[in-house]
């Protein structure tokens, strides 16, 4: 008598849970990186020399040369893991859109926003990292020269809100999905999410403006 060697559902569930856990960890790591990255780059608002000093520190300690590729790899791994649950077929996308409109549930719309911004970040973020890592060392004037070109300015004005939306929504969804925030605390945490998004958007826009005006 032949035995059925098909994989059991519990086994598949454990694998899927492990992948979800890895997705959460890579996402949390990227969120922390983006917040630190924004704060460090925004030091140019205070003084270009401060940004140059920070960039020089990362350069001489090889944190830029080693950390950059690690962040890029983490970025790709996170996208591949997240892509397991992103609908790529037009029919599936249409179904989710219809369900979101029918349910009128904020968290459902947040997931759609996160999935949509992920597609944009995958392309624009990869371009940004490739350009920066192939033009080391990082300096305030190099960054400013790039920002002062019209299409690069448009590029970053599109990338900035997508990143901040994705990060703030991701921060909220990690906290809710993994039980760090209970149901009675969601309202307050949503306010924190909105506050973080607004704060980093203001910092980001101020940084872009400073780069555009630097040396002029």
Let me know if residue 60 belongs to a domain. Answer: yes
> Mean pLDDT over residues 100-118, rounded?
70
Give the model confidence (pLDDT) of 3-58 as tens digits. 444 444 555 577 777 888 888 888 889 999 989 899 899 999 999 999 999 988 88
Report the distance separating Cα 159 and Cα 136, nearest Å: 21
DSSP state of 42: T
pLDDT (0 to 100) of residue 181: 75
Let me know if residue 206 belongs to a domain. Answer: yes
Q: Which helix (H) or strand (E) holds 56?
A: helix 48-60
Let me know if residue 1 belongs to a domain. Answer: no
Give the model confidence (pLDDT) of 197-211 as tens digits. 899 999 999 999 999
Query: In Å, how far are 7, 63, 65 from 137, measured between CA atoms?
Result: 50, 12, 9
More confident residue, 183 or 150: 150
Report the distance separating Cα 211 and Cα 216, nearest Å: 10
Report the distance separating Cα 10 and Cα 154, nearest Å: 48
Q: In the chain, how many domains are there?
A: 1
DSSP string, 137-204: SP-HHHHHHHHTSHHHHHHHHHHHHHHHHHHHHHHHHHHHHTTSS-GGGHHHHHHHHHHHHHHHHHHH
CATH number of the domain where residue 112 is located: 1.20.1300.10
Q: Is the pLDDT of residue 88 over 90?
A: no
Let me know if residue 6 belongs to a domain. Answer: no
Domain membership of residue 138 as a residue range:
16-213
Q: What are φ and ψ of residue 3, in 5° steps?
A: -95, 150
Nearest by Cα to 126 from 196, 54, 78, 174: 78
> Mean pLDDT over residues 101-114, rounded?
66
pTM equals 0.76
Which pLDDT band, with edges at 50, 70 and 90, does 107 fall under?
Answer: low
Q: Which of 101-105, 158-162, 180-184 has the lowest mean pLDDT?
A: 101-105
Report the distance separating Cα 175 and Cα 91, nearest Å: 30
Let me know if residue 172 belongs to a domain. Answer: yes
Let me know if residue 134 belongs to a domain. Answer: yes
Cα dihedral: 27, 33, 34, 35 (round 10): 110
pLDDT (0 to 100) of residue 89: 60
Let me know if residue 71 belongs to a domain. Answer: yes
């Amino acid at each position: 008598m032949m035995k059925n060697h098909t994989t059991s559902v519990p086994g598949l569930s454990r694998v899927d849970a492990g992948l979800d856990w890895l997705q959460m960890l890579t996402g949390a790591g990227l969120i922390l990186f983006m917040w630190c990255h924004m704060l460090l780059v925004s030091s140019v608002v205070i003084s270009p020399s401060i940004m140059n000093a920070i960039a020089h520190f990362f350069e001489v300690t090889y944190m830029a040369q080693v950390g950059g590729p690690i962040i890029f790899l983490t970025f790709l791994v996170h996208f591949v893991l997240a892509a397991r649950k992103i609908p790529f077929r037009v029919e599936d996308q249409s179904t989710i859109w219809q369900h979101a409109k029918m349910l009128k549930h904020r968290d459902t719309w947040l997931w759609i926003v996160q999935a949509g911004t992920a597609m944009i970040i995958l392309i624009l973020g990869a371009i940004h990292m490739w350009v920066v890592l192939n033009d080391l060392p990082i300096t305030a004037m190099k960054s400013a020269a790039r920002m002062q070109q019209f299409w690069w300015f448009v590029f970053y004005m599109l990338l900035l809100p997508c990143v901040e939306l994705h990060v703030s929504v991701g921060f909220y969804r990690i906290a809710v999905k993994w039980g760090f925030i209970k149901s009675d605390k969601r309202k307050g945490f949503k306010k924190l999410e909105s506050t973080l998004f607004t704060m980093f958007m203001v910092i980001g826009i101020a940084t872009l403006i400073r780069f555009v005006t630097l040396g002029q």
